[in-house]
Amino acid sequence: MSPIGALLGTILLLAMLVLLARVVLDWVGVLAPSAGPGLSRARAIVYRITEPVIAPVRRVVPPLRIGGLSIDLAFTIVFIGVLVLRAIVVRF
């Protein structure tokens, strides 16, 4: 693998980890809403990092609503896109 491929692979891995952190922090916020100010600060940081990537996709693909449940397909599309891109970059 070339040095550029290794760098891109590492950047995409970090993007996946930040996206996973967003999921975990969202669930912690739902399950323990009074978790404290540290949680809200961590969520703000993660959202500031991920929202510029997810928001444009969300404008094209709105959340799927099933009764009272809302599934954010934009997040899923971005996460799968990062997985596919990383698989391609790491392969070459």
Q: Average per-residue pLDDT in the chain? A: 90
pLDDT in tens, 31-69: 877 777 888 899 999 999 999 999 999 999 988 899 888
Decide: 54 and 74 in contact? Cβ < 8 Å.
Answer: yes
Give the pLDDT score at 92. 73
Residues 9-28 have a mean pLDDT of 93
The pLDDT score that the predictor gives to residue 22 is 94
Please report the pLDDT score of residue 29 as a whole number.
Answer: 81
| Structure confidence at residue 1 (pLDDT) | 67
Nearest-angstrom CA–CA distance, 57 and 42 = 23
Encoding tokens for residue 1? 């693998």
pTM above 0.75? yes
> Is the pLDDT assigned to residue 5 strictly greater than 90?
no
Q: Name the band, by pLDDT with cuts 50, 70 and 90, for residue 13.
A: very high
Residue pair 57/77 in contact (Cβ under 8 Å)? The answer is yes
**Residue 46 in tokens:** 């993660």
| Exposed/middle/buried for residue 22 (C-beta within 10 Å: 0-12, 13-18, 19+) | buried
